[in-house]
């Protein structure tokens, strides 16, 4: 057991942890932030995606000790001062979720994509960049719509027509 | 009551009430719960497809620190735990009545929580280990010694149906648990005898697994003081599982509470109870603390109830003008190691003639056991299989007999004037405008522009193929439903026994209730999933929920209006007959006084704490038949066999559509699951070892955002005469034609290579191999022609 | 996971010391190969020595016609690097095609090269570009480094510090992805280097990444896709599994080689 200290959703946290504790386990079990989900055991589903030092990362494949001193944002921390993030609003507006299990990972991935993607986003680019996030309910159609809508709201002119 | 009087919320794409918690990470999925003092259970699973259990030695595991118990099937039996009462034969009035040979009852194979005699599939749990932490339990499980004696096994569907195949159950002479024949045998034989043409085909629809994104989990807690069990577990129907598990545990249902809050996808995988649910409840009683179980994704792959797995041998008899005269089918369903549900075989059996007017048919329906994971209903249970079969058979007939495939369909489609139409195996289609669906679909999918697009694709070295399929499917489902309607301070609560896993019941049911009650949508809340609140209900499967819920809610509201009128009459000092209800307000012509629901409820509460509420049960057996048409375009790269879906269009008749946004979402997701089976998904079992090879996302290919297009889906509303709102169902029509339409497109793309026989999933490997084989055959033919 | 002791050294010397004094240590970098294996209990190292973020493993620099990428550079950084994009754009494109977006934020080139997964992308680039693997103690030419399925010339305690790529005259990469794992069923990296055409195949070889000599000979004589028309690859040297038979892989290798030659300067991904 050893101490780990990091910032989660803007708040400094310190806990004693087992060396083998994964970041997702730390978030869910130590901090009670159960919005980040575990959907697989081969790092292939994306349900666990969070923001780690400003970029998306699969929290099931990061040891919490590797996040020592890092800044982590989870789905619970995406809204600011009670205001939903544009992508959260877009998911609701465009019906980008059904059962909701993959949704936190989708939203965290999509938000980071919009934030950091250099250049214009079209449907093709969104579909390519979101391949790491599985969804079994929506067929992806409305997830793509939601991301494009939020991108256009957050960065006017970012979205280009395809074909 | 006229339910259609004021449709305000109904028909609108209202945004969902569920979303606020789900988009902010405040969903309540089973693994999100933890109970104080909980211990962890893991399952020790058979590595053999078939093996006798000679003994289980948990002593080494028990000696390890933090290990609380090792439990076997013998322990469970000694403690009086019983079988899970799956009741797999669909028992509604309109389900096809499957039987064993000679009309005997279906032998299903017992389902104890843990087997005592044998393990019958790779992954079957044979022991449970409970420890302080999950990691300790996993390590301890590795130390449990199980003395297995491997037995001969059989996994493949046709092989397991052979009389001399290794037998799974001593009670049967072989593995055949269902063998029943339906339809008019003599009439069919006569029609075939007189037919100008007969076309024959064998359809193989393989095994897939549902892959809900939430792996199953369960927490069992036994309260020694009250003698009650509480189970947290995502399910397809908390009420049903409460009753089933109560039977397993040997207690009155009132002693069991099942809580299914947010459920991360179902698709059929959760319709039946899992052994772990009973095991954690039992373990909690034995150990005096809560016990939690969570499946790994690899456990989910291995041991979620799986889907499909059907072989269908079909023949179609036609006259000289291309009119369908008769159909003969022999369907063989692989149910796995024991029979958990015969829904796929049964529902498929009722729809073998599809959207076409085929006057006479014979169907032999068989089910076989095999050393594989048990199967049950999976998205559109049984219907994609039979739709694939009839649609591909018609394609074959068109090809062999020189008909245009759309034309051949048109001349045989059931006409609206024939509705309600009883098909040759006894299913009564309620309503539908099949040709209109086709016409509309061909328009939105731009069938007319295909040849131009085909030429353009060829200029890029690609083979374009277009697929077409009609479908009709059935929604039957558990016939009973209950609604409690409770008027609270400024909201109305509806308690209902369906179990959504993404279908948006909290929203669509509120739309229905809001319009019936005349209150704003925002003020109606739906309560689901906790059997201490939800006293009865049929769960969610087979597209039953919207239809059953809306009907029972309408009946309940009607009763509530009557009750409220009595209260209002008292307040107005008039006779109840003089009270009128309009748009949520009770008034009387004599005065200008009025009272709304909440005012009346307050008055009611003053007299009786129960307040203004009503409970209503309803039972509906009549099935409905959603239907539609579907078209897709693909491009194949002949050099690699790679395939891209360019365009996918559908027209779906769902009856009255309560929330088109939600229905479109269901269509999209349904399409993805159907396309997934056609192109990528297969639960492969190694033919030499019996070992499943697709145990993770590394081997089981999934629909992802980058291998699907956006969909062009349109809703058609042909009102069903079977229920007050005219609802059919919208949850499964996306999947139903998908297998057929994709394979139809693949065949069309590869038409220049001649008849090609590719089994789903049509992977690049299979497509390329088929092209090579066809090319080599053509070269051989050319060579021999040269020589000649 | 089986329990282990985690270490986060700040420099290479400390990392090596920790590794040597442990019973059975593994190096950890991006973790997207090692951690999944540990989670499935396929390995049980006593200690993990984390190289993630170590200063000595960072950096991308061009010098004397050679591009040097620090072993700790994540795929996303290589993909976005102006230097890599300017001088070996196909290498940037290859890095941007590894796994998915989230994997690319953690996976490192050093980890990939140390592991030598038979379906990984980087080994084909390193081999085709005639790269040099720099470790804490020596320089190893690519031709001497990749020695088999998951096998390399690296000593157990040896740390890959950087990979050096001579800037080629041109390069191209064509990959056909496994629909499930998204790894390469086959992929071909073709480079025109100062010493001639080099072509490396990944995803397909039964012994890992390899250079088919007949392909290189044909292209050295005539650098056009048509030069490969009569060249074949022996299926016996290739992997065969449920996703792809050896014969199919042989076909893919040829098709992808032709396409990589036909379109130099780009990464082509097929599925």
Burial B551-572, CB ≥16 within 10 A → b, else e:
bbbbbbbbbbbebbbebbbebb
Edge to edge, the sheet with strand C25-28 lists C5-7, C47-50, C25-28
In a domain, B452, yes or no: yes
Helix (H, G, I), strand (E, B) or coil at C270: strand
Burial bucket for residue B448 (CB in 10 Å: 0-12, 13-18, 19+): exposed
The share of chain B scoring above pLDDT 90, in percent, equals 92
pLDDT at A138: 98
Do A101 and B710 count as a contact with CB atoms less than 8 A apart?
no
Which of the residues B299, B460, B640, B700 would you substitute to probe the C interface, choosing the one with the greatest number of C C-beta atoms within 10 Å? B640
Q: Report whether pLDDT(B34) > 50.
A: yes
DSSP type of residue C22: S
Do residues A130 and B705 touch, judged by C-beta distance below 8 A? yes
Q: What per-residue confidence (pLDDT) applies to B91?
A: 76
The conformation of residue A83, written as its DSSP 8-state character, comes to B
Mutate to test the interface with C, among B142, B765, B770, B772 (most CBs of C within 10 A): B765
Q: List, for residues B642-694, the tens digit of each pLDDT value.
A: 999 999 999 999 999 999 999 999 999 999 999 999 999 999 999 999 999 99
Q: How far apart are CA B630 and CA B469, in angstroms?
A: 5
Same domain, B641 and B667: yes
Give the best residue of A99, A130, A140, A162 to mutate against chain B (max B CB count within 10 A): A99
Q: If pLDDT is split at 50, 70 and 90, which confidence band does B788 have?
A: low
Do B511 and B567 lie in one domain? The reply is yes
- Which domains, and CATH codes, for chain C? 57-166 (3.30.465.10), 170-270 (3.30.390.50)
- Give the per-residue pLDDT at B2: 82
In a domain, B159, yes or no: no
Query: What share of residues in chain C are helix, strand, coil (percent, to 5)?
Result: 35, 25, 40
**Predicted confidence (pLDDT) at residue C225 exceeds the cutoff of 90:** yes
Contact between C39 and A41 using a beta-carbon 8 Å cutoff: yes
The tokens describing C247, both together, are 């014969």
Return contacts of C38-46, CB within 8 angstroms, 24+ apart: C38/A20, C38/C1, C38/C2, C38/C4, C39/A22, C39/A41, C39/A60, C39/C1, C40/A41, C40/A42, C40/B298, C41/B138, C41/C1, C41/C2, C44/C2, C44/C4, C45/C4, C46/C4, C46/C5, C46/C22
How many domains are contained in chain B? 3
**Closest-approach residue (CA) in chain A for C76:** A55
Pairwise CA distance, residues C163 & C139, whole Å: 9
Q: Do A139 and B703 touch (CB under 8 A)?
A: yes
- What DSSP character marks residue C253? H
Torsion of CA B680, B682, B683, B687, to 10 degrees: -130
Residue B3 domain flag: no
pLDDT for position A163: 44
Residue B333 sits in which domain range?
Answer: 306-476+623-773
Please indicate, yes or no, whether residues B325 and B467 belong to a single structural domain of this protein: yes
Strands of chain A (E only): list them: 2-8, 11-17, 49-52, 55-58, 71-73
Q: What is the CATH number of the domain that holds B237?
A: 3.90.1170.50
Using the predicted structure, report yes or no on whether residue B447 has a pLDDT greater than 90: yes
pLDDT at C42 over 90: yes
Same domain, B492 and B512: yes
Quick check: B787 pLDDT over 80? no
B neighbour chains, 3+ CB pairs within 8 Å: A, C
- Give the pLDDT confidence of B723-735 residue by residue, as tens digits: 999 999 999 999 9
pLDDT single digits (tens) B545-601? 999 999 999 999 999 999 999 999 999 999 999 999 999 999 998 788 899 999 999
Q: Same domain for B645 and B681?
A: yes
Q: Within a 13 Å sphere around the CA of B484, how many CA atoms are in the beta-carbon half?
A: 18
Considering Cα of A55, then A56, then A58, then A59, what sign does the dihedral take? positive
- Per-residue pLDDT for B633 more than 60? yes
Same-domain status, B482 and B573: yes
Does the pLDDT value for residue B456 go beyond 80?
yes
Q: Would you give the DSSP letter of residue B534?
A: -
Q: Mind telling me how many Å the CA of A20 is from chain C's nearest CA?
A: 6
More confident residue, B403 or B2: B403
B124 pLDDT above the threshold of 60: yes
Q: Does A67 touch chain C (CB under 8 A)?
A: no
Alpha helices, DSSP H, located in chain C: 12-21, 34-39, 75-80, 82-87, 89-95, 101-104, 109-115, 122-128, 142-145, 213-221, 246-262
Domain boundary residue, one of B619, B638, B661: B619
Q: How far apart are CA B280 and CA B768, in angstroms?
A: 49
Q: Tell me the per-residue pLDDT of C195-205, one tens digit each, with 9 for 90 and over.
A: 999 999 999 99
CATH of the domain at B346: 3.30.365.10
Alpha-carbon span B549 to B536, nearest angstrom: 12
Gap between the Cα atoms of C9 and B548, Å rounded: 63
Task: Tell me which chain A residues have a C-beta less than 8 angstroms from the C-beta of C41.
Answer: none
Question: Could you give the dihedral angle defined by the CA atoms of residues B321, B323, B326 and B327, in that order, rounded to the nearest 10 degrees?
Answer: 110
Whether B95 is in a domain gets the answer yes
- Closest-CA distance of chain A to residue B697, Å: 7
B674 and B753 within one domain: yes
Looking at the structure, tell me whether residues B141 and B257 fall in a common domain: yes
Token representation of residue A29: 């079990």
Phi, psi of A160 (to 5 degrees): -115, 155
Nearest to A39 among B22, B214, B710 (CB): B214
Element (DSSP H or E) covering residue B515: helix B505-517
Question: How many residues appear in chain B?
Answer: 788
Eight-state DSSP code of residue C205: B
Q: What is the mean pLDDT of residues B461-477?
A: 95
Q: Classify the complex by whether its ipTM is higher than 0.95, answering yes or no.
A: yes
Query: Would you call B297 and A137 a contact, using CB atoms and an 8 Å cutoff?
Result: no
Contact B151, B50 (CB under 8 A): yes
Between A41, A60, A65, which is nearest C6 by CB? A65
Q: Say whether both B232 and B377 belong to one domain.
A: no
Residue B323 lies in a domain: yes
The overall pTM is greater than 0.90: yes
Same structural domain, B285 and B348: no
What are the angstrom distances between the C-alpha of B529 and each of B36, B498, B532?
22, 8, 9
Look at A65 and C40 and tell me if their CB atoms are within 8 Å. no
List C-alpha distances in Å: B227 to B221, B257, B285. Answer: 10, 11, 9
Chain B residues inside the 8 Å CB shell of A134: 213, 697, 702, 704
Percentage of the residues of chain C whose pLDDT score is greater than 90? 100
Domain C-terminal end among B578, B599, B619: B619
Cβ within 8 Å, pair A138-B29: no
Strand partners, B332: B311, B366
Q: Which residues contact B599 (CB under 8 A, 6 or more apart)?
A: none
Are C76 and A55 in contact (CB < 8 Å)?
yes
Cis bond before residue B761 (omega within 30° of 0) = yes
pLDDT at B590: 78
Phi, psi of B722, rounded to the nearest 5 degrees? -90, -10
Task: State the Cα–Cα distance between residues B180 and B333, nearest whole angstrom.
Answer: 12
Asked if the model's pLDDT at residue A18 lies above 70, the reply is: yes
3-class DSSP state for residue A80? Answer: strand
Q: Kindly report which listed range (A153-162, B125-134, B223-232, B363-372) carries the lowest average pLDDT score.
A: A153-162
| Residue B516 CA, distance from chain mean position | 29
Measure the CA–CA gap between B106 and B119, rounded to whole angstroms: 21
Q: What is the CA radius of gyration of chain B?
A: 28
Subunits in contact with chain A (3 or more CB pairs closer than 8 Å): B, C
| Nearest residue of A to residue C52, measured between CA atoms | A66
Strands ordered across the beta sheet of A49-52: A11-17, A2-8, A71-73, A49-52, A55-58
Q: Looking at the predicted structure, is the pLDDT value of residue A135 above 50?
A: yes
Separation in Å, CA of A32 to nearest CA in chain B: 8
pLDDT digits (tens, 9 = 90+) for A83-111: 999 999 999 999 999 999 999 999 999 99
Decide if B707 touches C, using CB distance below 8 A.
yes
B90 confidence band (pLDDT: 50, 70, 90): confident
What pLDDT digit, counting tens, does each position of B37-58 carry?
999 999 999 999 999 999 999 9
Domain end (from B574, B594, B619): B619
E strand or H helix at A25, and its extent?
A: helix A23-25
Query: Across the interface, do B265 and A128 touch by the CB < 8 Å criterion?
Result: no
The pLDDT of residue B96: 80
CB C22 within 8 A of CB C46: yes
Taking the CA of residue A131 and the nearest CA in chain C, the distance in Å comes to: 6
The conformation of residue B152, written as its DSSP 8-state character, comes to -
If asked whether residues B239 and B116 sit together in one domain, one would say yes
- Indicate which of C97, C188, C248, C253 best probes the interface with B, i.e. most B CBs within 10 Å of its own CB: C248
Domains (range + CATH), chain A: 2-76 (3.10.20.30), 86-154 (1.10.150.120)
C190 DSSP β-pair partners? C172, C199
Average pLDDT score over residue span B89-93: 79
From residue C264, alpha-carbon distances to B461, C166, C169, C172, C191 in Å are: 19, 17, 10, 4, 8
Q: What is the mean pLDDT of residues C242-252?
A: 96
Partners of residue B694 in chain C, C-beta under 8 Å: 180
Measured between CA atoms, the residue of chain B closest to residue C248 is B765
Please check whether residues B283 and B352 belong to one and the same domain: no
Q: What is the DSSP letter of A31?
A: S
3 state SS of B75: helix
pLDDT average, residue stretch B382-388: 97
DSSP B17: S
Helices first, then strands: H and E counts in chain B: 20, 28
Average pLDDT over residues B170-182: 96
Q: Which of B354, B337, C165, C182 is nearest to A132 (CA)?
A: C182
How confident is the model at residue B489, as a pLDDT?
Answer: 95
Beta pairing, strands B524-527 & B580-582: unpaired
Residue B173 in any domain: the answer is no
- What does pLDDT average to over chain B? 96
Q: Are B258 and B1 in contact (CB under 8 A)?
A: no
- Chain A residue with CA closest to C101: the answer is A129
Residue A162 has pLDDT above 70, yes or no: no
Instruction: Verify whether the Cβ–Cβ distance B671 to A139 is below 8 Å.
Output: yes
Q: Which of B552, B482, B477, B562 shows the shortest CA–CA distance to B512?
A: B552
Residue of B nearest to A74 (CA): B25
In this complex, is the C-beta atom of B637 within 8 Å of any C-beta atom belonging to chain C? yes
Helix pair B660-679, B738-749: axis angle to 10 deg? 50
The answer to whether B46 touches B114, Cβ cutoff 8 Å, is no
Q: Phi, psi (5° rounding) for residue A81?
A: 50, 45
Beta sheet of B324-336, edge-to-edge order: B176-183, B360-369, B324-336, B306-318, B197-209
């Amino acid at each position: 057991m050893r101490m780990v200290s990091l910032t989660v959703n803007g708040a400094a946290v310190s806990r004693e942890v087992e060396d083998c504790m994964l970041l997702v386990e730390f978030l869910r079990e130590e901090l009670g932030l159960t919005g980040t989900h575990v959907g697989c055991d081969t790092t292939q589903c994306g349900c666990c995606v969070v923001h780690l030092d400003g970029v998306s990362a699969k929290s099931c494949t990061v040891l919490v000790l590797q996040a020592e001193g890092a800044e982590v944002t989870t789905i619970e921390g995406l809204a600011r001062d009670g205001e939903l993030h544009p992508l959260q609003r877009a998911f609701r507006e465009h019906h980008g979720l059904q059962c909701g299990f993959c949704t936190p990972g989708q939203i965290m991935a999509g938000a980071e994509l919009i934030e950091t993607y250099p250049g214009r986003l079209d449907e093709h680019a969104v579909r390519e960049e979101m391949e790491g996030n599985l969804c079994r309910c929506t067929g992806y159609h409305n997830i793509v719509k939601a991301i494009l809508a939020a991108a256009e709201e957050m960065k006017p002119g970012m979205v280009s027509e395809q074909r | 009551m006229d339910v259609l009087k004021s449709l305000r919320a109904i028909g609108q794409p209202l945004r969902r009430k569920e979303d606020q918690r789900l988009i902010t990470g405040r969903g309540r999925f089973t693994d999100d719960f933890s109970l104080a003092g909980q211990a962890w259970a893991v399952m020790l699973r058979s590595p053999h497809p078939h093996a006798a259990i000679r003994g289980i030695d948990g002593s080494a595991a028990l000696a390890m620190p933090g290990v609380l118990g090792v439990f076997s099937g013998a322990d469970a039996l000694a403690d009086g735990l019983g079988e899970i009462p799956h009741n797999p034969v669909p028992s509604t009035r309109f389900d096809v009545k499957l039987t064993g040979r000679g009309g005997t009852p279906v032998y299903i194979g017992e389902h104890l929580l843990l087997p005592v005699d044998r393990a019958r599939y790779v992954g079957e749990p044979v022991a449970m280990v409970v420890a302080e932490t999950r990691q300790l339990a996993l390590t301890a499980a590795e130390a449990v010694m199980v003395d297995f004696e491997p037995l001969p096994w059989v996994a493949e569907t046709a092989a397991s149906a052979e009389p001399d195949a290794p037998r799974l159950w001593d009670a049967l002479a072989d593995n055949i648990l269902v063998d029943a024949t339906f339809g008019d045998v003599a009439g069919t034989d006569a029609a075939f005898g007189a037919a100008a043409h007969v076309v024959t085909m064998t359809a193989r629809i393989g095994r897939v697994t549902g892959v809900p994104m939430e792996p199953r989990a369960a927490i069992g807690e036994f309260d020694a003081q009250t003698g009650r069990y509480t189970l947290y577990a995502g399910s397809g129907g908390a009420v049903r599982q409460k009753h089933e598990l109560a039977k397993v545990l040997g207690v009155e249902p009132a002693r069991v509470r099942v809580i299914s809050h947010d459920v991360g996808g179902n698709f059929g995988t959760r319709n039946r109870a899992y052994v772990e649910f009973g095991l954690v409840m039992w373990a909690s009683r034995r150990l005096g603390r809560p016990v939690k179980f969570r499946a790994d994704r690899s456990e989910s792959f291995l041991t979620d109830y799986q889907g499909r797995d059907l072989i269908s041998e079909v023949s179609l008899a036609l006259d000289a003008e291309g009119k369908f005269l008769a159909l003969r089918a022999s369907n063989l369903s692989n149910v796995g190691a024991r029979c958990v549900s015969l829904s796929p075989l049964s529902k498929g059996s009722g729809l073998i003639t599809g959207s076409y007017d085929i006057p006479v048919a014979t169907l032999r329906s068989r089910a076989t056991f095999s050393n594989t994971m048990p199967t049950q209903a999976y998205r559109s249970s049984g219907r994609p299989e039979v739709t694939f079969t009839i649609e591909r058979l018609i394609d074959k007939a068109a090809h062999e007999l020189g008909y245009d495939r759309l034309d051949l369909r048109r001349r045989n489609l059931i006409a609206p004037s024939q509705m309600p139409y009883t098909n040759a195996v006894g299913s009564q289609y309620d309503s539908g405008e099949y040709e209109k669906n086709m016409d509309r679909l061909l328009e939105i999918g731009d069938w007319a522009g295909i040849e131009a697009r085909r030429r353009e694709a060829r200029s890029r070295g690609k083979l374009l193929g277009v697929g077409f399929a009609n479908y009709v499917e059935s929604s039957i489902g558990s016939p009973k439903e209950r609604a409690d309607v409770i008027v609270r301070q400024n909201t109305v609560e509806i308690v209902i026994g369906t179990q959504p896993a993404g279908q948006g019941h909290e929203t669509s049911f509120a739309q229905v209730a809001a319009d019936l009650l005349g209150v704003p949508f925002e003020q109606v809340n739906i309560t689901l999933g906790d059997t201490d609140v939800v006293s009865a209900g049929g769960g969610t499967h087979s597209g039953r929920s919207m239809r059953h819920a809306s009907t029972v809610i309408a009946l309940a509201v009607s009763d509530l209006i009557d009750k409220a009128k009595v209260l209002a009459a008292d307040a107005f000092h008039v006779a109840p007959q003089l009270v009128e209800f309009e748009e949520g307000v009770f008034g009387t012509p004599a005065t200008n006084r009025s009272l709304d629901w909440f005012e009346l409820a307050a008055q009611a509460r003053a007299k009786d704490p129960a307040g203004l509420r009503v409970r209503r049960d309803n039972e509906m057996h009549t099935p409905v038949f959603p239907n539609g048409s579907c078209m897709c375009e693909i491009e194949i790269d002949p050099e690699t066999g790679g395939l891209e879906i360019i365009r996918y269009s559908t027209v779906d008749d769902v009856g009255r559509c309560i929330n088109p946004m939600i229905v479109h979402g269901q269509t999209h997701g349904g399409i993805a699951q159907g396309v997934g089976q056609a192109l990528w998904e297969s639960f492969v079992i190694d033919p030499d070892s019996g070992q499943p090879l697709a145990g993770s996302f590394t081997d089981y290919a999934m629909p992802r955002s980058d291998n699907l297009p956006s969909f062009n889906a349109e809703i058609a509303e042909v009102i069903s005469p079977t229920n007050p709102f005219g609802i059919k169902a919208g949850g499964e029509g996306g999947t139903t034609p998908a297998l057929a339409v994709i394979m139809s497109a693949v065949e069309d793309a590869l038409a220049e290579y001649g008849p090609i026989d590719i089994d789903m999933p049509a992977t690049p490997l299979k497509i390329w191999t088929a092209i090579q084989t066809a090319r080599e055959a053509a070269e051989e033919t050319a060579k021999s022609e040269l020589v000649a | 996971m089986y329990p282990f002791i985690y270490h986060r050294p700040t420099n290479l010397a400390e990392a090596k010391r920790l590794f040597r004094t442990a019973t059975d240590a593994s190096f950890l970098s991006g973790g997207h190969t090692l951690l999944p294996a540990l989670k499935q209990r396929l390995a049980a190292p006593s200690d993990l020595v984390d190289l993630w973020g170590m200063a000595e493993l960072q950096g991308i620099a061009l010098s004397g016609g050679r591009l040097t990428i620090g072993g700790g550079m994540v795929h996303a950084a290589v993909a976005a690097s102006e230097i890599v994009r300017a001088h070996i754009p196909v290498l940037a494109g290859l890095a941007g095609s590894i796994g998915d977006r989230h994997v690319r934020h953690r996976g490192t080139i050093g980890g990939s090269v140390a592991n030598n997964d038979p379906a990984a992308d980087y080994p084909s680039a390193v081999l085709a570009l005639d790269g040099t693997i720099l470790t804490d103690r020596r320089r190893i030419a690519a031709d001497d480094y990749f020695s088999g399925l998951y096998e390399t010339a690296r000593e157990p305690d040896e740390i890959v510090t950087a990979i050096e790529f001579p800037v080629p005259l041109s390069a191209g990469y064509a990959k056909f992805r496994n629909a499930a794992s998204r790894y390469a069923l086959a992929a071909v990296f073709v480079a025109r280097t100062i010493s001639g055409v080099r072509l490396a195949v990944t995803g397909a070889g039964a012994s890992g990444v390899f250079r088919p000599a007949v392909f290189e000979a044909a292209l050295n004589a005539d650098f056009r896709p048509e030069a490969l028309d009569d060249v074949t690859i022996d299926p016996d040297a290739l992997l065969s599994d449920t996703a792809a038979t050896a014969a199919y892989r042989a076909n893919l290798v040829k098709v992808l080689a032709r396409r990589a030659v036909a379109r130099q300067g780009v990464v082509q991904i097929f599925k």
